[in-house]
Structure 1
């Protein structure tokens, strides 16, 4: 298994090198040269596997044996030992056709834990085996930062810096990041939105001299290993369905802002998982919905919403999908991304739009619909959704017509009590979250400036 860049200007490399590279050195995103095909016979063999063993089976198709089997097994099992559910990602039936995949049973109560607990352990493993210094640099719209910090805090040989948009994450998200007092953690609160944070990160990774000097590594979904780790739960959810339910056709409804979570589902489908529809759920920052409906990819006005983790205009993982939409033509992909950079939009032709709409359905959920969905499902089923998961449920209602739909619950509602309170619902916080409110915070507020961020990083790395 070789890995290549969507822009075609990075030499073929293996699994570990791809993991360490993060963003491709040519500015593109790393992808497998060929996507492994999983046969029906193999799917049948995988059906009864535990989450951990299923992950091992899927990763074995990509890792080239670069990590000895026993080492990989220990990494996987260690990564999920702290999850509150032994299933890692339990599937809950709300009615005969709608299921919720609960992805929030990790240490920071968000789906990002599923990938980032593993990635933290893998970074520590590589640092130890290769005697490398690893400086993880990432941007977050809320959940990635806390999950990444949780995955690597206090690990030898690793430092982590996370940028988050100042005042634009939930109170619990902010506390989960900034109450960590470990010397290897730096939180930068950037005066801007998530897209501003993400752009600074991309520029720093594109600066190969800076990237090499400080051994920068990626934790965001620009790192392919993050995508691959998330692919596992699509297979797992499918296998947890009753056989008679699978026979009706299975769709997934996915809240997404950076296109990473839904691209993981797209990868699972291309591998051979029999997914009917991939339903893309967004909020008022609906660039991805407009892309699916109109064939135009163009940022619009930025909105702060009840679902702040999806308050994103420019989706990092869009380029991975664009590569496949361009028929695997790296030159065409690179040219289009350069056009987007210079013109601020991409317009797709009729044939491409047909393919896009074959691959995805999409629905933009406004604030009122989001809150109404939370209230309705709490009243109807006694099931409390966080606002991102509510967007997924609302989108599933638009497109599920009798077939089975699995909607992804991406965070525990306690992380977004601002929205839950507006619904007139009083919830009880888990103890781990309740304790956060009494802890001191540690963060540095900076301007939306690459130079300001660089100055903070250089001080941090020299400390």
Structure 2
């Protein structure tokens, strides 16, 4: 399995190369060069697996046994989930009227990002131990990424982590989760501005390729492909738990409601769709609604300012994983994606072409938090 930049101007890399990267050298994000298509037999076989079992199968598809042999991979994933409080790791709660809630908060920091970051940290340790290397991880956070990343790597001798925390823009508990860790390899800095603004210097650092290589820098934000890879399991697991039956001629669809900020879990759902999982995605945002405007009107443009809300991790105006989604919707056309994103970075305004916007309805727009979400599908679930 090879990985290419969404902007098409960087050399392709294997999983290890994508794992140890931030942005690709051309400013894009890494994506698999080809997505495997899953047949009905594979979906039937996967339908009885536990959540950790699904993570193992998905990771085996995208990593390859030449990099991590299957026995080693299974052991790393079991170790990653050993600190979760629920025996199923990710349970599904069934509510009224066909509404189901996937509980993704049973990790150490109560954030859903504990799931993907715990696995990512295990993969990093595996390769670093074999290569006898040290890396410095740079993370910008709007709330939950920073604390989950810290918990996943604190105490590791071959990793240092630098977290940029936007002052006054995280919840108190998240701020304390980051600033009270006294482990030597954890470095937390409070910065002025919001999470979108602190992403700008991080991207500038990763654009300096010689500097990145000299200091072995990488990122654990959802620009990192491994984050998206593990999050794909959320969608597969919930589908198998919610679908009425997999024995019908046409597999039944399930509606998936995804609250989102930077769009990593949304990108994971779009990739699962491309692989053959019959889900309909509904993206839910708060008043920082750039993704909603993009899907509704094709308007991928910044508002005047980020509006603080109680859901601080969703207070994002630059959902960088939309670049991955544009790449998918344009049939992996890196030239189209590069043109779009360079225009957005230059002008902070972008209107999608009619052709590209016409493909967006496969990701349905949802209303802001606090509004009623229409309950139209008996098998639907919400990612919480």
Instruction: Specify if TM > 0.5.
Output: yes
1:249 offset after TM fit, Å? 3.0
Structure 2 SS opposite 1:92: strand
User: What's 2:53 paired with?
Assistant: 53
Aligned residue pairs total: 379
**1-structure distance, mates of 2:231, 2:275:** 14
After TM superposition, list the pairs within 5 Å mapping 1:27-426 onto structure 2: 27-65=27-65, 66-241=67-242, 243=244, 249-275=253-279, 277-300=280-303, 301-365=305-369, 369=370, 394=371, 397-409=372-384
**1-structure distance, mates of 2:376, 2:203:** 40
1:119 offset after TM fit, Å? 1.0
**2-structure distance, mates of 1:343, 1:54:** 41
**2-structure distance, mates of 1:303, 1:402:** 32
Give structure 1 stretches of 5+ with no counterpart.
Answer: 370-393, 410-463
1:248 offset after TM fit, Å? 5.6
**1-structure distance, mates of 2:118, 2:33:** 26
1:181 offset after TM fit, Å? 0.2
Alignment RMSD: 1.6
- Answer yes or no: is the 8 Å Cα contact 2:330–2:337 preserved in 1: yes
User: What's 1:459 paired with?
Assistant: none
**TM-score for the superposition, normalised by structure 1:** 0.79
**1-structure distance, mates of 2:321, 2:208:** 20
1:330 offset after TM fit, Å? 0.9
Give structure 2 stretches of 5+ with no counterpart.
Answer: none
Please identify the structure whose Cα radius of gyration is greater. Answer: 1
Do the aligned partners of residues 244 and 42 (structure 1) sit closer, same or farther apart at CA in structure 2, a change above 3 Å counting?
Answer: closer
- Answer yes or no: is the 8 Å Cα contact 1:292–1:362 preserved in 2: no
Do the aligned partners of residues 163 and 74 (structure 1) sit closer, same or farther apart at CA in structure 2, a change above 3 Å counting?
Answer: same
- Answer yes or no: is the 8 Å Cα contact 1:248–1:403 preserved in 2: no
**TM-score for the superposition, normalised by structure 2:** 0.95
**2-structure distance, mates of 1:147, 1:189:** 17
Q: Which whole-Å deviations, capped at 9, do the CAs of 1:22-60 have from their partners, x for residues lacking one?
A: 311111000001111111110000111122221111111
- Answer yes or no: is the 8 Å Cα contact 1:123–1:134 preserved in 2: no
1:400 offset after TM fit, Å? 2.8
**2-structure distance, mates of 1:361, 1:399:** 11
1:211 offset after TM fit, Å? 0.9
Q: Which whole-Å deviations, capped at 9, do the CAs of 1:135-190 have from their partners, x for residues lacking one?
A: 11111100000000000000121100111210110000000111100010001111
**1-structure distance, mates of 2:60, 2:164:** 33
Q: Which whole-Å deviations, capped at 9, do the CAs of 1:318-369 have from their partners, x for residues lacking one?
A: 111111222321122112211111221111233322211233323223xxx2
**2-structure distance, mates of 1:341, 1:159:** 30
**1-structure distance, mates of 2:13, 2:107:** 31
**1-structure distance, mates of 2:232, 2:200:** 25
**1-structure distance, mates of 2:13, 2:252:** 40
Structure 1 SS opposite 2:320: coil
**2-structure distance, mates of 1:358, 1:55:** 25
**2-structure distance, mates of 1:216, 1:341:** 23
**1-structure distance, mates of 2:126, 2:362:** 40
1:242 offset after TM fit, Å? 5.9
- Answer yes or no: is the 8 Å Cα contact 2:81–2:89 preserved in 1: yes
